[in-house]
Amino acid sequence: MLKKLFSKQINMDTLSVEERVALAKSEPIPAHVAIIMDGNGRWAKKRAMPRVAGHHEGMKTVQKITRFASDLGIQALTVYAFSTENWKRPKAEVDFLMRLPVEFLGSFLPEMMERNVRVEMIGNPELLPAHTQKALYDAMEETKHNTGLVLNFALNYGSRAEIIDAMKGMLEKVQEGELTIQDITEECVTAHLMTAHLPEPDLLIRTSGEVRLSNFMLWQLAYTELWFTDTLWPDFNEKNLLEAIENYQKRNRRYGGLKGEETT
């Protein structure tokens, strides 16, 4: 591969972003990247600003990273925007967070159409405010025929709740005779998850220095490569994403088995 030919001779830090992108594209790009966007509040606190200012800046980062992910050829980008546990935050902060999708989708939708991006979501939309639901449904309807990057928002999402719902769905089918107990396999469980139509994430990124999954895609991340950075989400940029992908491309994904020289 092109990167392997040059890696011994060239310090990646000396290359331009354009050159690093070209090298990254010469290796397999992760099909599905999932991001736990953490650090908005700390970013604001460091600047003596209210927490909501950090969330608003983080929204701009989603736009920037979506553009770059699309340019790189990533097929799906799942961003953890609001968890089932986030309802515990102060009401004013939650209300602000629920308005962000309206602003984001309202301003960014024309560009997403130009870039062939499709908007989707995982999570329970029923508890979201009406204006948040409308913005999401309108964007999903508008972009449903787009065939490029899938921008997948995890909103009011919790992985344990998702798995429980999948279990209930399968049990109902067993009771109705559509499934037998023997039919319940890993593939069957996967097919009943909210992400059934997407490839499982190849790469998970978490920002802000936290090193945990926080109830995010627990089933889907079983063999995902994990990458953690101290960078706060509002400061996360194209170079950070490129660094994560370059790190991913150096790894040997064995899925519990052995590869290459390890088998000899």
pLDDT digits (tens, 9 = 90+) for 164-186: 999 999 999 999 999 999 999 99
pLDDT digits (tens, 9 = 90+) for 204-259: 999 999 999 999 999 999 999 999 999 999 999 999 999 999 999 999 876 666 56
CA 89: distance to chain centroid? 22
Q: Does residue 38 carry a catalytic annotation?
A: yes
Q: Does residue 235 carry a catalytic annotation?
A: no
pLDDT at 201: 98
Q: Is 7 annotated as contributing to ligand binding?
A: no
pTM of the model: 0.92
Q: Is 39 annotated as contributing to ligand binding?
A: yes
Q: Is 26 annotated as contributing to ligand binding?
A: no
Q: Which of 86, 146, 215, 237 is catalytic?
A: 86
Q: Is 67 annotated as contributing to ligand binding?
A: no
The per-residue b/e assignment along 212-225, b for 16 or more CB within 10 angstroms, e otherwise, is: ebebbbebbbeebb
Average pLDDT over residues 8-24: 81
Q: Is 89 annotated as contributing to ligand binding?
A: yes
**Taking Cα atoms as reference points, which of 244, 246, 236, 203 lies closest to residue 37?**
236
Per CATH, which fold does 28-157+199-224 belong to? Undecaprenyl pyrophosphate synthetase (3.40.1180)
Q: Is 99 annotated as contributing to ligand binding?
A: no
Could you give the CA distance from residue 138 to residue 143 in angstroms, rounded to a whole number? 9
Q: Which of 38, 152, 156, 240 is catalytic?
A: 38
Supply the DSSP symbol for 155. Answer: E
